[in-house]
Amino acid sequence: MSTDPDLVSLRRDLHRKPEPAWREFYTTARIVEELRSRLDLEELHVGPDALAGEHRMGVPDEAELETWFERARDHGADEDVLETLEGGYTGAVAVLERGEGPTVGLRVDIDGLPQPESEDPDHAPAAEGFRSEHDGAMHACGHDAHATIGIGVLERIAESEFEGTLKVFFQPAEEVVGGGKSMAKSDHLADVDYLLALHVGLDHPTGEIVAGIDGFLAVRHLVATFTGEPAHAGGHPEQGRNAVQAMATAVQNCYGIPRHSDGATRINAGVVEGGSAANVIPEEARIVAEVRGETTELMEYMYGKAERVMRSAAEMHDCEVALEIGADAPSATSDRELADVVADVAGGVAGVENVLERDQLGGSEDATFLMREVQQNGGLACYVGVGTDHPGGHHTSTFDVDEDSIGQGIETIAGAIERIATERP
């Protein structure tokens, strides 16, 4: 199945202008432009109206936001939309009403990654002229395709015999697990009976659909800042309190935290930094880390152990430590009732050659906030994998999507939404 050329053009435009978490100013404005030109929506909530702003996590500083805001303006983003998004309140919720029936939600994420894109002539975006125009940023995980699928599904449902309400959540800041909670806690999710979320690729080829994905690892980010006392390293080392020693002890001991018999656990010290010169006892050092668990409870177990290790390491070296919790996301499970519907629909989509009933993600995703919110309200939720051939792995400089998979994703998701509204599993 080939994808509508207009949607391919949209995907490529979004690919040219990737924006990291909470900086998706051009992306949101472009989505709004497409929605308004293509559809007669009952409601379109943009920026602050789409979010519970107090639950945003991982928001960059004002200077960073302003840089990207002005860049979006330079690219010609609609001024009225930009004004709404100022301060990093990005994202949108589109609402299509078609008579009496259930409310079905679709969540798609829209942010890029702070990562340079390959200039290799064998890399299709470079060869075909839609490589990232933003130095140091790219769509290395397919969220440009996700946003495009969201718009395509709205169009497809608008032309169908669907009866009910469809809400599409164009969610910012997935890559820092910072945006899901703010959409989950907004009023827009309260009446959703069924929720689908999706991701392209995940090491599944074009023509393969995963009807229900599980294995989401709950995750929490944390920053530990160690403070000691500076001194001359040669003249008076005994007068110092070495923050780097405390940090190094903490890193080493964190990797020694016992694993848990209830399931998989993870910890990683992704950033370690500190000190100023070879002859100065370091006064300050910092660790940026994350913990994960197969369940939310296992993630909490790892966090509790990591916190104890950090405090003990500081005390051992006569330093202080300040701990700051960053973004986090819970685990979730796809409901079989929805996965069965997706599998049945996918089997009849042109170009889909293989349907897997289940698979494990093995990573983290803040769509879990929305999934759990709907499930806790008595509804059903499911995370769908849309296979796509990608020459580079996710989060690599050569990642790209097979654009035929966009059309397959639209047909699968739209068909499932129609079936859900009819069958009400």
Residue 139 Cα to chain centre, angstroms: 12
Sheet with 265-274: strands ordered across: 265-274, 284-293, 218-227, 320-329
User: Which residues are known binding-site members?
Assistant: 141, 143, 175, 199, 395
State phi, psi for 361 to the nearest 5 degrees: -75, -50
Report in angstroms the alpha-carbon separations of 334 from 195, 210, 212, 318. Answer: 10, 11, 6, 48
424 Cβ partners below 8 Å, 6+ apart? 102, 193
State phi, psi for 190 to the nearest 5 degrees: -60, -30
> Which tokens hold the place of 171?
């969610």
Neighbours of 57 (CB within 10 A): 21
For residue 143, the SS3 value is: helix
**C-alpha–C-alpha distance, residues 154 and 382, integer Å:** 18
**C-alpha–C-alpha distance, residues 192 and 121, integer Å:** 45
**C-alpha–C-alpha distance, residues 201 and 359, integer Å:** 12
Q: Are 356 and 211 in contact (CB under 8 A)?
A: yes
User: Which residues are known binding-site members for Mn(2+)?
Assistant: 141, 143, 175, 199, 395
For residue 252, the SS3 value is: helix
Beta-bridge mates of residue 293: 218, 265
